[in-house]
Amino acid sequence: MPAKPPAGAGRRKAAPKEAVKEAAREEAVKASAKPCPICGKPAAEASRPFCSERCRDVDLNRWLSNSYVIPAAKDDDEDAE
């Protein structure tokens, strides 16, 4: 490490970057503090954003049943044209 710069030269160039980092970290904390969308319990780190794999499964099933409906509706639309 070279000689220490004078106190006056201490322009905090890194400050804005650090602020962004800080905001991102806060965002992550907020996300982890979100309750489980299925049952409302605090989300677990291992199965975010759900509280457990069980709730993740429930959501996945909802998702799958939804995505089964969409192609059928699309097909119907094409048929009408």
By CB under 5 A, name the binding residues for Zn ion: 36, 38-39, 41, 51, 55
Compute the least distance from the CB of residue 42 to Zn ion, in Å.
Answer: 9
Compute the least distance from the CB of residue 45 to Zn ion, in Å.
Answer: 14
The partner residues of 35 in beta bridges, in order of sequence, read 42
Tokens of 1: 């490490």
* Between 54 and 74, CB nearer to Zn ion: 54
For residues 42 and 29, what is the distance between their CA atoms, to the nearest angstrom?
12
CB of 35 within 8 A of CB of 42? yes
Compute the least distance from the CB of residue 39 to Zn ion, in Å.
Answer: 3
